[in-house]
Amino acid sequence: MMNTLQADVAVIGFGKGGKIAAAALGRAGRRVVLIERSDSMYGGTCPNVGCVPTKALVHHSGRRRPDDSPQEWFEHAIGEVQQLTSTFRAGNYDALNNADTITVLTGTASFVDDHTIAVGNDVRVVADTILINTGSEPVIPDIPGLRDSPRTVTNVDLVHGTQLPGRLAVIGGGYLGIEFASIYRRFGSQVTVLEASPRILGQEDDDIAEAAAGILAGDGVEIVTGAKVLEIRNEDTVVYEKNGREHTITVDAILAATGRTPATAELRLDNAGVRVSERGAIEVDEYLRTSRPHIFALGDVNGGPQFTYISLDDSRIVLDQLLGAGKRSTADRVAVPKTLFMSPPLATVGLTEAAARAEGRPFKVAKQNVADIIAMPRAYIVEETRGMMKFVIDADTDEILGAGLLSVDAQELINTVALAIRHRITATELRESIYTHPSSTEAFNDVLAM
């Protein structure tokens, strides 16, 4: 017998945006049903297989001493990380399921029509408003032998596995690939990054990317650019072409780090009349409404920037539509920062030098190597003096256009720079501010003294 639940709001997917919206709507007295297909994903990608476990692995990999057995230390780290994610997962579930107005269902959701969702074979949810927050999933590129090889892993597989690969090949030199290359090298794996483009981190300026590549190489990561992967042979041999010559490496694991795609395959969006783009993302307007005005899409599934904090901001936009004045939109977003958690981290915001030049605007550049920043003794205190700081500044107004910070604490520093950009604080003001000592922020006193 089919059990039918009536709801004011149904939320498909327990990601950041969905859970924040569900909690707020529940507090406002709305009857909410939150549907998550896996009991291992309460809370979404970030606390389970994304930000939390990977950044915890960054921390643990940095604590390994030369005499520690790589495999034993890795097993210990994975155990600690799994315990942490279990705590987060249980907390996320209890926080919502224990609310009087919220019901959490576990099962695969698919649309029956634009107000009705089937959950497995036993439950149907009928809702006035529906929020889709199913996130994204790893893409395994169509390289002969890659999908069939038992050595092929995704980032999700890696954070669950307890066996440290002796040799790891990473296909893709973007944020995901470089982050895992850095982590696993520090655990003790031999790591080779294969990037088809002329250099890694193609969205960043040449000098920033070159500095990052130098740090990785110094840690022992082998980076092969201009490498076109041709096939995976005999399950464990990666065959690639560079400069017209064929090369092979034999590995224990192959990480496909070539991107993620919106997770919509099981939703049966056609039954609801919800349109998707050519890339499979749910089409939304600036208020995150789909082609059905009562259905919203939040987070990675709508094709926007794939960051947890964007999903959080998506929830603010949707809640403003459902509970507020309805004015907040994606057009309000300015200077959204991002961080690559290699060691040390690379954090960026705003325009690169190349982008400013392409726009034809007058600009000046302020940059220094971290080792040369006199006002940043913290880098020496924590024994991490690698990297550089770079600012792109409007030559007429002195406003900061963008920054690339490859340094200790960059993931924190970038938020101050982003705030300065949003509020049009000048480089001079940022340079002449008073910062605590010894801190990383006081590097601004030095770097911006042009």
Residues involved in catalysis: 437
CA 8 → CA 111, 120, 160, 321, distances in Å? 16, 20, 37, 14
Place of tokens 């325009």: 351
| Rounded-to-integer distance, Cα 282 and Cα 268, Å | 12
Whether the CB-CB separation of 17 and 318 falls below 8 Å is answered with yes
Cα–Cα distances in angstroms (integers) from residue 346 to residues 84, 213, 439, in the given order: 25, 11, 17
Contact 47, 22 (CB under 8 A): no
- CB-based contact 282:276 (threshold 8 Å): yes
Q: Are strands 123-132 and 3-12 parallel, antiparallel or unpaired?
A: parallel
| Contact yes or no for 281/136 (Cβ under 8 A) | no
- 299: which residues sit within 8 A by CB, 6+ positions away? 13, 15, 16, 17, 18, 44, 133, 134, 135, 310, 311, 314
Tokens matching residue 428: 């001079």
Q: Is 5 helix (H, G, I), strand (E, B) or coil?
A: strand
Cα distance between residue 449 and residue 23, in whole Å: 46
Question: Is the peptide bond preceding residue 344 cis, with omega within 30 degrees of 0?
Answer: yes
Q: Which tokens in the block code for residue 117?
A: 């969702």
Helix axes 51-63, 175-187, angle to 10 degrees: 30
